[in-house]
Structure 1
Amino acid sequence: MTGLEVAAVLLAGLAAGTINTVVGSGTLITFPTLLAFGVPPVTANVSNSIGLVPGSVSGAVGYRRELAGQRARVVRLALASLLGGAVGAVLLLVLPAAAFEAIVPVLILLGVVLVVAQPRLSAWVARRHEAVGGMSAHGAWWVWPLVLLTGVYGGYFGAAQGVLLMAVLGIGVQESLQRLNGVKNVLAAVVNAVSGVIFALVADVDWSIVGLLAVGSVVGGQLGARYGRRLPPTALRALIVVVGVVALVVLVLG
């Protein structure tokens, strides 16, 4: 890799680590960056998944205060994320590469739409929190299976996985959004970790990319936990949407 490519991947990892901690769509930054440098889509995806694991852990550690008192909830939902992430990773490996290349534009489009819709989702979730009471500490019965399905999505590709998780948790669990964001970071870390282990054992991984993304995402995870709440949300979403749309155009026209 050239010096420019190294710097770009490192910065993309930092941006993804920050964004994943705050919102949850950092793959829409790193994946297109890797594609732009000619990395094959499947290799880019598996290398990206492994490289962002340390950033997910970093973000979860940064939210440790919000996680206090949620141990039972986190353990229960982490099992769903573990199973879902493993299934998603296996699907990526057993399905033909052509299938992944065909579905990636759809997944990127889904991620972009979710990022755009995130303010309305958050507002709706906040209103529901005010209106609903008496819910189980673990949330509605459907939270666990939907977290599992989100894990399948995250293990297979993962763009905007965090947005999906926040929608599920925010609607189904009676808890403050900041505390749920801490749970979201742990669940995303579990999905990335289990898929990363599977990919490391059997997939074609570019370890130089993994290392750069890991370093950048760890720093980004701490920045997101410490300063992320101060970032202008509209500007952050706009950046993610622009990068996602550019990636979509390149994939469709390429």
Structure 2
Amino acid sequence: MTGTEHLIVIATGLVAGLLTSTVGVASLVSFPVLVALGIPPVVANASNTVGMIPAGLGGSLGYRRELREQPAVTWVVVATCAFGSIGGAVLLLALPSGVFEAIVPWLILFTCLLVGATPTISRWLRSRKPHEVGPRTKMSPVTTFFATLTGVYGGYFGAGSGVMMMAVLGLGLDLDLRIVNALKTLAVMAANVVAGLIFVFVADLDYTAVGLLAIGSIVGGYTGAHVGRVLPPTLLRILIVLAGVIAAVTMLT
């Protein structure tokens, strides 16, 4: 890489880190940039996973107040996403590159719809079970299952996994959106850490790209947590849906 390309990757890491802690579509920015710089797709995907670990770390540190409000849920989210990402990393190494290219944009669009409709769906679900009083603050088996599946996807490709986790947690739990956003950021980090450890030992990595992404992403992740905390819930939900739709349309074209 040239000096200019180094700066581009650092800036990309910064932007991707901001997106990790806010709207959750970071890899849809960072992965295409790595490919555009001439890195083979599978190498770029693995390198992106490792390089974006600091974004989740910075974001989780920025959201530590929110995470402390729900310690039990926090640990379950970490465990499920970490476990799921093992399967996703194995799939990435075993399957041909691009095997999910046709379905991923539609999956992201569907989860964007769920994120946008979460308040309405949650009210409808509560009206169907009026005997259930009090907010849902524990991970149900169904929510845990879909969180694990999101971890699998995060370990395999990851693009849009933050939006998917927002949908899963938003539908399965009655928590403030800022807490769901914090849990989503931690979930993405957990998936990246486990998958990244596997990639370090068995995959080809571009360590220059990894290092440059890490420099930018840790700053972006921490800054993004402060931005995500102060955004009004409705505005944050709108931004998440818009970002996901734009990303899905970009992948389709």
- Separation (CA, whole Å) in 1 of partners of 2:240 and 2:154: 21
Give the partner amino acid of 2:101: V
Query: What does the per-residue CA deviation read over 1:109-156, in whole Å, with 9 as the maximum and x for residues that have no partner?
Result: 533x25753662344366469867435531332011111000000000
Q: What is the alpha-carbon distance in structure 1 between the residues aligned to residue 4 and residue 244 of structure 2?
A: 21
CA distance in 2, matches of 1:128, 1:51: 40
- Structure 2 distance, partners of 1:146, 1:237, is 19
Q: Report what 1:46 is aligned to.
A: 46
- 1:24 alignment counterpart: 24
Q: Which residue of 1 aligns with 2:218?
A: 218
Identify the residue that residue 56 of structure 2 maps to in structure 1: 56
Using the TM superposition, give the Cα deviation of residue 227 of structure 1 relative to its aligned residue in structure 2, in angstroms: 2.3
Name 2:75's counterpart in structure 1. 75
Where do 1:83-232 residues align within 5 Å? 83-95=83-95, 99-111=96-108, 113=109, 117=113, 120-124=116-120, 127=123, 133-134=133-134, 136-228=136-228, 229-230=230-231
Q: Match for 1:74: what amino acid? A: T
3-state secondary structure, aligned to 2:205: coil
Distance 1:74 1:235, change over 3 A: closer
Instruction: From the superposition, tell whether residues 94 and 102 of structure 1 become closer, same or farther in structure 2 (CA, over 3 Å).
Output: closer
Shift of 1:76: 2.1
* 1:100 partner SS: coil
TM-score w.r.t. length of structure 1: 0.85
1:197-245 Cα offsets, whole Å, 9 max, x none, are 0001110000000011111110101110122445975678656655654
Q: Which runs of 5+ in 2 are unaligned?
A: none
- In the alignment, structure 1 segments of 5+ residues that lack a partner are 250-254
- SS of the residue corresponding to residue 138 of structure 1 reads coil
Structure 1: which amino acid aligns with 2:113?
A: A
Separation (CA, whole Å) in 2 of partners of 1:169 and 1:107 = 20
RMSD: 2.6
Question: C-alpha separation between the residues in 2 aligned to 1:4 and 1:198?
Answer: 30
AA in 2 matched with 1:3: G
Distance 1:102 1:222, change over 3 A: same
Asked whether the equivalents of residues 114 and 163 of structure 1 are also in contact (C-alpha less than 8 Å), the reply is: no
Write the distance in 1 (CA, Å) between the matches of 2:139 and 2:241. 28
- Asked if 1:34 is matched to 2:31, the reply is no
Q: Deviations over 1:57-112 (max 9, x none)?
A: 110110011112322221122211111011100111122xxx2224235324533x
Q: Which secondary structure state, in structure 2, belongs to the residue aligned with residue 25 of structure 1? A: coil
User: What SS class does the counterpart of residue 134 from structure 2 fall into?
Assistant: coil
The 10-residue stretch of structure 1 (170-179 or 134-143) with the greater mean CA deviation from structure 2: 134-143
Equivalenced residue count is 245
- Mark the CA change 1:177 to 1:243 in structure 2 (over 3 Å): closer, same or farther: closer
